[in-house]
């Protein structure tokens, strides 16, 4: 019997779309019964959102003041305490899930399957390695709990329209005090979220300065797109770290990805391989980004961008 | 704090474009350049800076692998680690067992910090630090881009999807480090000579009383589905027209 427990990701009030993608992954396992666990200080709104997701049987809420912030040292023992008769425990391969799920796996004494791209059967999955330059089929041992993270860029969000049962749960676990949340510094923005945006405009080192990186925001706003960046642009201080796309940043799959002044190192390309259409604008016609671009344009971005922004507006 | 343990993994160099073996058993590593996992190098650099600031007295580099990993440990010693430990295994070893090795060594050495890369660029798992924290019952601060030691605790800035999160952890603790934490130093020739005289102890996995449990089996490697190079456009009007064709603007 396949029983999957998905750990909901949220910001304290709203469900992160990564959770709906985990549901799609879990639903790809034949006969899976799917529950979602919401650990928060106030679970009301988050649980209501989770209950709408198609194929979910139950939403289990664990409300504790200690769950206000996502501190793994506090969340993991509660998850281990309710792991009970679940065959699978899944979370998203976002920084939230990557931080949490291996800790849960170790508490349960098992290894973790990281970044599930496809489900072959209940214990067999495909996942990327070597920055996506190889795909390996892996088999988790039978008879022990499968703990896994789901590569969110590989899955569509589950549909809504469901009304799963919401039930409070008591996760008796002693929580350590040795890890304390201090603060979160976030560049607030009204733009679509990079990880779920249908369109993304991304800039690289060639933008040359933080000020000139503003062109990327202008084009993004004209298109209603999210904003991304290469590692080089983040390292150079043109934009905040949360915009980084690639092996060590965010792995995304928008319908449209426009790479501007990005050369296309393999570590970057691995983050955009699943995009619908890739557009590359670069002055170097030999740039590797053109090898993966559906539409390429060679030229000076400082001439092209203002023209493109005008045309889109 | 006395000691900092740093994990150094031997991996295919990050500039190598890896090829899947024709029989699907793995990726080609014959004749391929091997290096310290770049994230681990950043962890070592940070450990050395903490020691140089006076907040620690010794940096111990640890690798788990075949005797070939001596190369990476020697590089770590040349960077400035005081000594090295190689835990030898015959083939691959799973992340949970690696975490158990680090736990055993952290306890044996009474380490104040265990510092690891946030992921190895071969398996891209990103698991060991989190597993070690769970087994050891100590704090974890993953994806660190800023570390400040403040007596018996550390203040760590973490690169998370939403931005930069700051946490405070009591020591001993486990840190996994991200790219922007520092720029590792270059190794100079005299340091390489000096490193040859630094202690590098080898011990088999069994000496730590660790027997790997059930692992996640790798059944088959394959090359990813490639993308095809598309069309080239010459002006903005053609670009916009091409996007309109696809219904994207």
Are both A7 and A156 inside the same structural domain? yes
Distance from C-alpha of A197 to C-alpha of B195, rounded to nearest angstrom: 50
pLDDT of A188 higher than 80 = no
How far apart are alpha carbons B101 and A230 in whole angstroms? Answer: 36
pLDDT band at B195 (very low <50, low <70, confident <90, very high): very high
Would A175 be classed as within a structural domain?
Answer: no
Residues A159 and A223 in one domain: no
Residue B231 maps to a domain: no
CATH number, position A85: 3.40.50.620
Confidence at residue B90, expressed as pLDDT on a 0 to 100 scale: 85
- On whether both A136 and A223 belong to a single domain, the answer is no
Phi-psi region of A304 (alpha: psi -120 to 50; beta: other; left: phi over 0): alpha
Measured in angstroms, the CA of B117 and the nearest CA of chain A are apart by 11
Partnered with residue A257 across adjacent β-strands are A200, A278
Confidence at residue A1, expressed as pLDDT on a 0 to 100 scale: 86
What's the confidence (pLDDT) of residue A137? Answer: 98
Whether residue A31 has pLDDT greater than 90: yes
Q: Chain B: residue nearest A255 by CA? A: B248
The mean predicted confidence, pLDDT, of chain A is 96
Strand partners for A135: A128, B222
Per-residue pLDDT at A187 exceeds 90: no
- 3-state SS class at A17: coil
pLDDT for res B93: 93
Angle at A205 (CA atoms; ends A201, A208), nearest 5 degrees: 100
The predicted pLDDT at position A189 comes to: 81
Gap between the Cα atoms of A112 and B126, Å rounded: 10
Residue B150 sits in a domain whose CATH number is 3.40.50.620
Is B247 inside any structural domain? no
Q: Are B187 and B196 in contact (CB under 8 A)?
A: no
Number of domains comprising chain A:
2
Window from A108-112, A244-248, B36-40, B145-149 with minimum mean pLDDT: A244-248
pLDDT band at A172 (very low <50, low <70, confident <90, very high): confident
The answer to the question of residue B233 being in a domain is no
B3 contacts chain A (CB < 8 A):
no
Q: Which residues in A261-298 are b (16+ Cβ under 10 Å) and which e?
A: bbbbbbbbbbbbbbbebbbbbbeeeebbbbbbbbbbbb
Chain B residues 36-75 within an 8 A CB cutoff of chain A: none
Q: Which of A186, A266, A297 sits opposite B163 (nearest CB)?
A: A186
Residue A187 within any structural domain of the chain: no
Whether residue A296 sits in one domain with residue A231: yes
Instruction: Looking at the structure, tell me whether residues A164 and A286 fall in a common domain.
Output: no
Task: Specify whether A154 is located in the same domain as A216.
Answer: no
| A59 within 8 A of A31, measured Cβ to Cβ | no
Q: B199 vs chain A: nearest CA distance in angstroms?
A: 32
Where in the sequence is the domain holding B53, given as residue range(s)? Answer: 3-223
CB A44 within 8 A of CB A14: no
pLDDT digits (tens, 9 = 90+) for B97-114: 999 999 999 999 999 999
Which residues in chain A touch residue B114, judged by CB atoms under 8 angstroms apart? Answer: none
- Total domain count, chain B: 1
* pLDDT tens-digit readout, A109-127: 999 999 999 999 999 999 9
A140, A43 contact by CB (below 8 A): no
Higher pLDDT among residues B227 and B171, named by residue: B171
Asked if B17 lies within 8 A of A96 by C-beta distance, the reply is no
Contact B249 A76 (CB under 8 A): no
At residue A152, the pLDDT reads 95
Residue B178 lies in a domain: yes
DSSP A43: -
Average per-residue pLDDT for chain B: 96
Instruction: pLDDT band for B91, please (50, 70, 90 cuts).
Output: confident
Task: Tell whether the model's pLDDT for residue B127 goes beyond 80.
Answer: yes
Q: What is the CA angle A269-A275-A281, rounded to 5?
A: 60
Query: Distance between CA B13 and CA B121 in Å, rounded?
Result: 9
In this prediction, residue A105 has a pLDDT band, given cuts at 50, 70 and 90, of: very high
Q: What integer is the mean pLDDT of B94-99?
A: 97
Which residues, 6 or more positions from B207, have their beta carbon under 8 angstroms from its beta carbon? Answer: none
Residues of B in contact with A132 (CB under 8 A): 224
Statement: residue A87 has pLDDT above 80: yes
Residue A281 inside a domain? The answer is yes
Tell me what the mean pLDDT of segment A245-273 comes to.
94
A238 with A143, same domain: the answer is no
Residue B134 maps to a domain: yes
B interface mutation test: which of A16, A126, A174, A178 has the most B CBs within 10 A?
A178
Residue A52's pLDDT band, with cuts at 50, 70 and 90, is very high
What three-state secondary structure class fits A64? coil
> Which residue carries 């796996």 as its tokens?
A105
Name the residue range of residue A125's domain: 3-168
With contacts defined as CB-CB under 8 Å, which chain B residues touch A234? 180
Q: Is the pLDDT of residue A171 over 90?
A: no
Give the pLDDT confidence score for residue A287 in this predicted structure.
97
Does B71 score more than 80 pLDDT? yes
CATH code for position A254: 3.40.50.1220
Note whether A215 and A162 are same-domain residues.
no
The answer to whether position B108 is within a domain reads yes
The reply to whether B228 falls in a domain is no
Measure CB to CB from residue B214 to each of A131, A136, A144 and give the nearest one.
A144
Mutation target vs B (from A134, A198, A233; most B CBs, 10 A cutoff): A134
In this structure, of A17-21, A46-50, B91-95, the range with the lowest mean pLDDT score is B91-95
Do residues A12 and A51 both lie within one domain? yes
* Strand A165-168 versus strand A56-63 pairing type: parallel
Q: Name the band, by pLDDT with cuts 50, 70 and 90, for residue B1.
A: confident
Helix B38-52 to helix B70-79 angle (10° resolution) is 30
Q: Say if B192 falls within a structural domain.
A: yes
Give how far the C-alpha of residue A267 lies from the chain's centroid of Cα atoms, to the nearest Å.
Answer: 17
């Amino acid at each position: 019997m396949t029983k999957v427990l998905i750990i909901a990701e949220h910001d304290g009030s709203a469900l992160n779309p990564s959770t709906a993608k985990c549901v799609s992954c879990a639903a790809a396992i034949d006969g899976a019964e799917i529950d979602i666990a919401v650990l928060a200080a106030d679970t009301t709104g988050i649980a209501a959102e989770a209950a709408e997701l198609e194929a979910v049987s139950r939403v289990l809420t664990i409300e504790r003041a200690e769950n206000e912030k996502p501190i793994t040292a506090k969340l993991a023992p509660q998850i281990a305490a309710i792991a009970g008769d679940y065959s699978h425990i899944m979370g998203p391969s976002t920084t939230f899930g990557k931080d949490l799920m291996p800790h849960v796996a170790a508490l349960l004494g098992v290894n973790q399957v990281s970044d599930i791209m496809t489900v072959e059967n209940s214990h067999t999955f495909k996942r990327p390695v070597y920055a996506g330059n190889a795909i390996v089929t892996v088999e988790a041992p039978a008879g022990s709990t499968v703990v896994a993270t789901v590569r969110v860029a590989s899955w569509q969000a589950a549909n809504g329209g469901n009304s799963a049962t919401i039930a409070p749960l008591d996760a008796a676990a002693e929580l350590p005090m040795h890890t304390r949340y201090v603060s979160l510094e976030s560049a607030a923005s009204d733009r679509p979220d990079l990880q779920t945006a249908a369109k993304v405009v991304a800039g690289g080192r060639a933008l040359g300065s933080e000020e000139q990186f503003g062109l990327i925001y202008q084009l993004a706003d004209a298109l209603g797109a999210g904003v991304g960046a290469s590692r080089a642009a983040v390292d150079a201080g043109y934009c905040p770290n949360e915009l980084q796309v690639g092996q060590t940043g965010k792995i995304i799959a928008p319908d449209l990805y426009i790479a501007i002044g990005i050369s296309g190192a393999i570590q970057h390309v691995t983050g955009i391989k699943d995009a619908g259409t890739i557009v590359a604008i670069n002055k170097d016609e030999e740039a590797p980004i053109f090898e993966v671009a559906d539409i390429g344009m060679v030229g000076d971005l400082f001439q092209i961008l203002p023209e493109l922004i005008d045309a889109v507006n | 704090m006395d000691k900092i343990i740093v994990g150094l993994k031997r991996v295919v160099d990050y500039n190598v474009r890896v090829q899947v073996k024709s029989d699907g058993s793995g990726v080609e590593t014959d004749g391929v350049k091997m290096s310290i996992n770049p994230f681990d190098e950043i962890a070592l650099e940070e450990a050395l800076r903490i020691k140089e600031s006076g907040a620690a007295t010794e940096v111990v580099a640890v690798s788990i692998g075949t005797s070939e990993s001596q190369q990476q440990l020697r590089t770590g010693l040349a960077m400035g680690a005081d000594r090295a430990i190689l835990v030898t295994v015959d083939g691959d070893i799973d992340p949970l067992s690696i975490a158990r090795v680090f736990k055993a060594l952290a306890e044996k050495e009474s380490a104040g910090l265990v510092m690891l890369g946030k992921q190895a660029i071969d398996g891209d798992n990103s698991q060991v630090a989190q597993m070690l924290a769970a087994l050891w019952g100590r704090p974890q601060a993953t994806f660190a881009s800023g570390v400040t030691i403040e007596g018996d605790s550390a203040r760590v800035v973490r690169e998370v999807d939403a931005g930069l999160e700051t946490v405070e952890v009591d020591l001993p603790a486990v840190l996994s480090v991200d790219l922007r934490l520092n720029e590792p130093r270059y190794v100079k020739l005299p340091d390489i000579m000096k490193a040859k005289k630094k202690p590098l102890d080898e011990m088999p996995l069994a000496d730590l009383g660790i027997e790997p449990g059930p692992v996640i089996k790798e059944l088959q490697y394959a090359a990813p589905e490639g993308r095809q190079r598309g069309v080239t456009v010459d002006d903005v009007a053609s670009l916009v027209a091409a996007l309109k064709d696809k219904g994207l603007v």
